[in-house]
Every structure is written in C-alpha cells, then in structure tokens.
Structure 1
Amino acid sequence: MNNLTLLALTLSVITIAALGLYALQLWRRIWAKEKAQAEALNTQRERIGGDLRILASSLLEGQLPLIEGAIRIKVLLDNYDSTLSQDPRCEVFHQLFAATAQVPTHAEWKALEKSVRRQHEQHFSALELQHKAAARAAARWLLDEALPAARQSA
C-alpha cells in the first residue's frame, strides 16, 4: 500500500468518525428536546388535573355554580384526556356545555337586555334542576376514581 492510499484511508476513517460524532451530538439534542417536551406535557397534565380536582370539589361543595362548573370541567377534561372526557359518566358535562353554548359571555352577556338575561337564567335554573344529581355524581367520580391523587409536596 502506498502512502497516498494510506493517507486517503486515514482521512476517510477520520471523516467517518467525525461525522459519527456529529450525528451522535445531533441525536443527543433531539433526545434532550423530546425529554423536555415530555416533561412539559407532564407538567401541563398535572396542572390541569389539579385544576379539575379543584373544580370538581368546588362544584360538590356548592362554591361554584353548577352550569359554570360543568362548562369549565368539560373544557379542561377535553384538554386533559379526551378518552376520559368521552366516558359516559362525564356526558352530563357535555350536555350542559351544549345546552349553554349559544349563551353570550362576558361583555356580550352584560350588553343583553334584562329580559333576555332572565330567560337565560331561567334556562340555567331548569338545567340545574334537571342535571344537578348527575353533575354531582360525575364530579364525585372524577375525584374518587378518574383523576389520580395529587402529589404531596414535601
């Protein structure tokens, strides 16, 4: 083997090794990003789960109006776990959400005439009477069975 062939072979091996190290470095970056994304999703999921526990408890204790609580729980459930959200025991939250979807909120609510607001409030009362037991049972089920227990901070 002559010197030129040996030099070309050496340069080839060095180039391959350098490219391999560069590829490893890129893969490590990808793995680090994937790990950070997974941790961010876990953190978000834990936060939403905590919010769901607070809402369900508040609904059960009467600290939150039934309609408002059901709407908030439904939206958070959709973001927390779509499979859990579609559980038949959570159907009442979807029913209340759908039954109130056309009701204006915030500034639009304040802009409504009092008679229209009263009609909506009467509708809310009827919905509460019809769905109170089911909503409370669903909130209890979420707290007792569906949502994992909150982590205790040390």
Structure 2
Amino acid sequence: MSETTLYILITVNLVIVAGLVFFILRLLGRQKQKRLDAEERLKKIAAEVSEHRLHIIESLQVIGRAILNEEIPLTEASIRCKVLLDNLDPQLAQSDAYIVFNEVFEQSKHIPRLEAWKKLKGPEKLEYIAHMETLESDYSHKVNSAAEHLLSQDFNRYH
C-alpha cells in the first residue's frame, strides 16, 4: 500500500470520525433540550396544580365561613364541600370531621340541580325543598361543626 493511499484512508477515517462526533453532539443537544423542555412542563404543571389546590382550599374556607354566617343553605354547602374535599384529598373527605358532607350529599343526590331544577314546577320544587329543610335541621349541628373544623384545618401540606 502506498503512502498516498494510507493518507487518503486516514483522511477518510478522520472525516467519518468528525461526522460521527458532530452527529453525537447534535443528538446530545437535542436530548438536553428535550429534558429541559420536560422539566419546564413539569414546573408549569406543578404550578397549576398548586394554584388549583390553593383555589380549592380558599373555596372551602369561604364556604365554611358562609355556613357559620348562615349565608348559604346547608344542603348546597355540604354538596360543594364534599366535591371540593374529594378533589383535594379523598381520604380527608372521608375523615370523621367531614363525613357529614358526604352523608348530606348522598341523601340529596336525587334532587335535581342547575337546569333540571329550573325546569321543575312549583309543587315539585316544594317537595324537594321540604326534603332539604329536613336534611338541614337533622344535620345543622354536624355541618356547623364541620365548617368550624374547615376553618381551623391546617391545609399547608396541600400547597
């Protein structure tokens, strides 16, 4: 083999090695950018989750104050609290302090809501209103106690 052929082969190999190094560096750059993008998406999702949890906590506290100030019907408040607590922490929703919200929810879930309520005729509404009043008188003490507990609950672990 002549020297010229040897130099040509060395040059071809160096070009191939340089091309492979360039290709590897490009792949590493893309991989790093994907990792950075994924981290950014995770941070954004974490911020949204934290914001959502904070909104739930604030809503629970507003409803708790409204219950104690008698500004909201207890049936409606119980339904809202049950749903919010389920979204925040299903285990917390089943705790002894808040189980009353679930009980009222279960006993009132047959009552039409929103548009279905608006479509009801007067006598039909009266029947449901009587049922809600019975629920509220039966559970008022427990719901008020749960509302007080909501206002004293330490929700820091949910931020």
Q: TM-score, normalised by structure 1?
A: 0.88
Q: Which residue of 2 aligns with 1:100?
A: 108
Q: Which residue of 1 aligns with 2:80?
A: 72
CA distance in 2, matches of 1:4, 1:111: 83
CA distance in 2, matches of 1:25, 1:106: 48
**1:13 shift after superposition:** 1.3
Q: Which residue of 2 aligns with 1:3?
A: 11
Instruction: Choose which of 110, 122, 126 in structure 2 pairs with 1:118.
Output: 126
Q: Which amino acid in structure 2 is aligned with residue 50 of structure 1?
A: E
CA distance in 2, matches of 1:117, 1:85: 29
Residues 36-78 of structure 1, C-alpha deviations (whole Å, 9 max, x = no match): 0110111111111111110011011111111111111111111
Gaps of 5+ in 2: 1-8
CA distance in 2, matches of 1:49, 1:127: 25
- Most deviating of 106-115 and 36-45: 106-115
CA distance in 1, matches of 2:38, 2:153: 36
1:83 aligned onto 2:91: yes
Q: Which residue of 1 aligns with 2:59?
A: 51
Q: Which residue of 2 aligns with 1:138?
A: 146
Q: Which amino acid in structure 2 is aligned with residue 52 of structure 1?
A: L
State the superposition RMSD in angstroms.
Answer: 1.8
Instruction: Choose which of 45, 50, 63 in structure 1 pairs with 2:71.
Output: 63
**1:146 shift after superposition:** 4.3
CA gap of 1:90–1:146, structure 2 versus 1, over 3 A, is farther
Residues 23-45 of structure 1, C-alpha deviations (whole Å, 9 max, x = no match): 10111111101110110111111
Gaps of 5+ in 1: none
Q: Which residue of 2 aligns with 1:36?
A: 44
Point out the structure with max Rg over C-alpha. Answer: 2
CA distance in 2, matches of 1:132, 1:108: 26
- Identity, in percent, stands at 26
CA gap of 1:110–1:12, structure 2 versus 1, over 3 A, is closer
CA distance in 1, matches of 2:152, 2:143: 14
Q: Which amino acid in structure 2 is aligned with residue 98 of structure 1?
A: E
**1:129 shift after superposition:** 1.6
Contact 1:53 1:147 in 2 (8 A): no
- Most deviating of 30-39 and 102-111: 102-111
CA distance in 2, matches of 1:112, 1:43: 37
| Matched residue count | 149
Residues 63-101 of structure 1, C-alpha deviations (whole Å, 9 max, x = no match): 111111111111111122222112122111011111111
